[in-house]
Amino acid sequence: MAEMNLIGALNNAIRLEMRRNPSTVVMGEDIAKLGGVFRVTTGLLDEFGPERVIDTPLSEGGIIGTAIGLALYGVRPIVEIQFSDFIYPGYDQIVNELAKYRYRSGGQYSCPLVIRTPSGGGIKGGHYHSQSPESYFIHTPGLKVVMPSDPYDAKGLFLSSVRDADPVIFFEPKRIYRAAKGDVPEEDYTIPLGEAKVRRAGDQVTLLTYGAMVVESLEAAEQANQQGIEVEVVDLRTLLPLDIEAVLSSVKKTGRAVIVHEAPKTCGFGAELSALIMEKAFPYLEAPVTRVTGFDTPFPYALEHDYLPSPARILKGIDYVMHY
């Protein structure tokens, strides 16, 4: 074991996979000599050389289009999009090409690659460097969507993603890149995609969350505990495919659900979770499903921490469902 932050765990995972599989390449803007804007790919150029660690032009559509072609020829690309806000120029390539290969070929072949990208706010990035676009891709059949919340999960989920037979969008909550630390095995291990994790057990309220909001939710749960309210915190980890059984198991036990994410509320992933709970667990509910989210505005610079769900805002959601 070694103590790593999220950046170190991801760097270790990429390095292990490139050693294991010679067909793996890493590509993106400033990822080679610089090591990426957040330094996740630091040192890879020195070990693997410029044919496998590739600095690309500033063209997200070109980067993703090239990676699709490589993947179809048997290469395993790991693509970095510098900020998730910059993924939109490559959106057509992802949604209309990458996600469709298994379907259009009648299951004969897929297009396995990982697009990893820093997501969310919390670093004073303003409205062009703080967005949370996960729902756009959760809405797209053919993709898998992952967002870890700690270094151990980041490494295990990433290694599963890069070895998966289908394309994966791997969102990295940049707010906790360096803040989240923990013991991480230096050897190879994987965490299956599609399995949620109970971060804190409780029997009165379920908090459903993912990414950086797991940290805020755990703090809110601790504050609720001081008021005598036992909160269960479920970290979804993989958003598509969703571990619906874990969600329903927790909600049926507690009878109350609060969903926490930092993306805007309207058509955010919380809306889908709410609908699933209403369809499949309605008789168990003691209160309406409640969402604590970002607001339906562009991400603000000066009011960043008012926009992001805080333990105080989450606690209000807990109090609402408890006293409904």
Q: What angle, 0 to 180 degrees and rounded to 10, lies between the N-to-C axes of helices 311-322 and 213-226?
A: 50
Residues in the chain: 324
Q: What are phi and psi of 24, to 5 degrees?
A: -80, 130
Residues of the chain predicted below pLDDT 70:
none
Residue in 247, 196, 200 with CA at minimum distance from that of residue 222:
200
DSSP state, residue 283: G
C-alpha closest to that of 41 among 3, 77, 13, 61: 13
| Both structure tokens of 88 | 């939109």
- What tokens appear for 195 in the block? 């399995």
Residue 50 is predicted with a pLDDT of 97
What whole-number distance in Å separates Cα of residue 124 and Cα of residue 42? Answer: 23
Q: Do domains 2-184 and 197-322 have the same CATH topology?
A: yes
What is the distance between the alpha carbons of residues 237 and 211, in angstroms, rounded to a whole number?
A: 7
* Domain ranges (residues) in the chain: 2-184, 197-322
Is residue 85 helix, strand or coil?
A: helix
pLDDT for 43 equals: 97
Per-residue confidence (pLDDT) for residue 35, from 0 to 100 = 97
Confirm or reject CATH 3.40.50.1220 for domain 197-322, answering yes or no: no
Q: Which of 113, 53, 59, 99 is nearest to 82 (CA)?
A: 59
Q: Is 261 a catalytic residue?
A: no
pLDDT at 170: 98
Q: What is the tens place of the pLDDT at every residue in 60-100?
A: 999 999 999 999 999 999 999 999 999 999 999 999 999 99
CB 80 within 8 A of CB 36: yes
**In 3-state terms, the chain is what percent helix, strand and coil (to 5)?**
40, 20, 40
| pLDDT at position 82 | 97
Q: What is the mean pLDDT of the chain?
A: 97
Pick the catalytic residue from 129, 139, 261, 305.
129
State the burial class of residue 253 (Cβ atoms within 10 Å of its Cβ: 0-12, 13-18, 19+): middle
pLDDT (0 to 100) of residue 270: 98
Write down the pLDDT at residue 152.
98
* pTM across the whole model: 0.97
Q: Give me the pLDDT at residue 139, please.
A: 97
In one-letter notation, the amino acid at residue 63 is: I
Secondary structure of residue 262 in the 3-state scheme: strand
Q: What b-and-e string marks burial along 305-321, b requiring 16 or more CB atoms within 10 Å of the CB?
A: eebbbebeebbebbbeb
Assign domain 2-184 one CATH number from 3.90.1710.10, 3.40.50.970, 3.40.50.880, 3.40.50.150. 3.40.50.970
